[in-house]
Amino acid sequence: MRILLFSNSTNAGEEYLSYTIPYIHEFTQGKKYEAVFIPYAGVTISWDEYSAEVASKLLTTGIHLNPIHKSADPIKAILNAEMIIVGGGNTFNLLKTLEDNKLLKFIREKVIAGVPYIGWSAGSNMACPTIRTTNDMPIVEPKSFNALGLFPFQINPHYTDAVDKNHAGETREMRINEFIEANKDMYVAGLREGTLFQINGNKLELKGSKSCRIFKHGKAASELKSGDDFSFLMQ
């Protein structure tokens, strides 16, 4: 498998997708791709607008986008894809629409067979076994929470250590601790903004300047940085 998973699309004060472009250049290694783009996570933006915005940002990467919602046969579009890109937004809307179009099985098979996959935010959640570590509100109801299951651990995108002194609700860490209490066999990787995971085969690498917070039931949460060994997450 060849997978690139960003925590977020945009760093504070930067243009949309700007920090992702150098990593995408490195990922494609100068090869041109006809990529199927899945904008289903977009809710307050039309899928046409969403696709056009992403296409304009990826012009320099050699990736040409084919928005899946414009295809008369979405399954055929996936079967013929040279690359699959899944944008961020609302993870529940993304999953439900993939289910409605019966695409999960075909995307999974293509990526396992070696078709490159790029996702950010909700698109990163979708690569996990389940979407139950998303931060999103369940604005629609999918048939299940099962996602693509391309690897055996969970990602929490946009992970933050921030604590608002004027807010008495749960922190992100508290919510993830609830997840691992209910799912004792699962690792969760808190992926901070500006960082990403790259998977080549069974090799998993963290990229970016911030560390990743690792959660597992019965263990103290730990911090790993770029260059550290993440192989245990793939087992």
Q: Is the dihedral of CA 87, 91, 93, 97 positive or negative?
A: positive
> Which of the 8 DSSP states describes residue 196?
E
Query: Whose CA is closest to 217, among 153, 125, 146?
Result: 153
Residues 6+ apart with CB under 8 A from 94: 38, 40, 41, 86, 122, 123, 126
Buried b (16+ CB within 10 A) or exposed e, 215-230: bbeeeeeeebeeeeeb
> Which of the 8 DSSP states describes residue 146?
B
Catalytic center residues: 121, 136, 158
DSSP β-ladder status, 188-192 and 154-159: parallel
